[in-house]
Amino acid sequence: MKIIVLAGGLSTERDVSLTSSAGICKTLIEKGHDAFLLDVFMGLPDAPENLEDVFTLPNHGLEIAKNISTTEPDLAAVKASRPDQSDCFLGPNVIELCRLADITFLGLHGGEGENGKLQATFDLLGIRYTGPDSLGCALAMDKGVTKVIFQRCNVSTPGGGWLYKKDLDKPLSEMGLSLPVVVKPCSGGSSIGVYIVNTEEEYREALEKSFQYEDELIIEPYIKGREFACGIIDGKALPPIEIIPKTGFFDYANKYQDGGSEEICPANISEEISQKMQELTVRAFHALKLNVYSRADFLLDENDNLYCLEVNTLPGMTAASLLPKEAKAVGIEYGDLCELIIQKSLEARYQ
């Protein structure tokens, strides 16, 4: 197959996406596909005259990938480095190349790549893509909307609510909360802008920092517990994986730096809790109107209460990422997982 692996973009998870997508592209090439790695924002301004030739270029576009840094990327610098200085999310030749491909593998994380807008655009343009549909992506990306849906659909989730920038001085008591709490952007990812706060001073500082990313935040009660994730493919939940950060919680640095955390799969929990987590994963998947695949994140408190925090519609896809590790636990190797995602995406929308 001719496959464009779409990466990068303008979210705070840009670097993560480039690394994920490079791994996807390499394994698809090894599987015999004509795959090309393409940055959705930078595009390919120096494309060959015959665009079809892109799929057989010897470097496969892999030169755009780089190692993930310990801090989020400088998006202003990324914008300034685009040769045509356009603010269009879709870079030169992106649409044309995606049209030529048999399918576009979405290796984007966060922002416009995961909030349903790109999926809806591709639907209108007749471009085939991997992963969930636009509606499910839009619902899952907004943590406030997700929380309301979970509460209506009996998916256990932390309490709390959302706070807009214009309501900065709204006291916690009006949201039915008291310290300690968790502050996080409503639509962010990779734990960027997430803070656990214990004092009023820490809370005010966290609001100031998190509002730099978005104008809407989620404020939740702090729940002390173990961290887990549970992937799902084609409606079937994978074995849960436990994440044990070396320090603090599973933040950006612990997620993407070597030695930042330990992951155990299958998780060392009872069969009863494992089954319940899988059931909640499936329930959340359907409640958010998702299809193909996703990954749900959980907390398990000291009394064995489970809380679903959110669902990632385009989860990390390096060979060392959580979803591929869960798939491997049931015998699905990384390359086979990438092909399975393509197969299930084609079955969900294009057959």
For residue 21, indicate whether it is catalytic.
Answer: no
Residue among 17, 187, 321, 345 flagged as catalytic: 321
**Known catalytic residue: 214?**
no
**Ligand-binding site membership of 310 (annotated):** yes
Q: Which residue is catalytic, options 13, 114, 263, 326?
A: 13
Was 297 annotated as part of a binding site? yes
What region, left, alpha or beta, does residue 32 occupy, with left being phi > 0 and alpha being psi -120 to 50 degrees?
Answer: left
* Catalytic residue, candidates 17, 20, 190, 191: 190
Mapping DSSP onto H, E and C, the string for the chain reads CEEEEEECCCCCCHHHHHHHHHHHHHHHHHCCCEEEEEECCCCCCCCCCCHHHHHHCCCCCHHHCCCCCCCCCCHHHHHHCCCCCCCCCCCCCHHHHHHHCCEEEECCCCHHHHCCHHHHHHHHHCCCECCCCHHHHHHHHCHHHHHHHHHHCCCCCCCCEEEEHHHCCCCHHHHCCCCCEEEEECCCCCCCCCEEECCHHHHHHHHHHHCCCCCEEEEEECCCEEEEEEEEECCEECCCEEEEECCCCCCHHHHHCCCCEEEECCCCCCHHHHHHHHHHHHHHHHHCCCCCEEEEEEEEECCCCEEEEEEECCCCCCCCCHHHHHHHHCCCCHHHHHHHHHHHHHHHHCC
210 flagged as catalytic: no
312 is in an annotated binding site: yes
Which parts are annotated binding residues for Mg(2+)?
297, 310, 312
Active site residues: 13, 190, 321
Give binding residues as ranges. 297, 310, 312
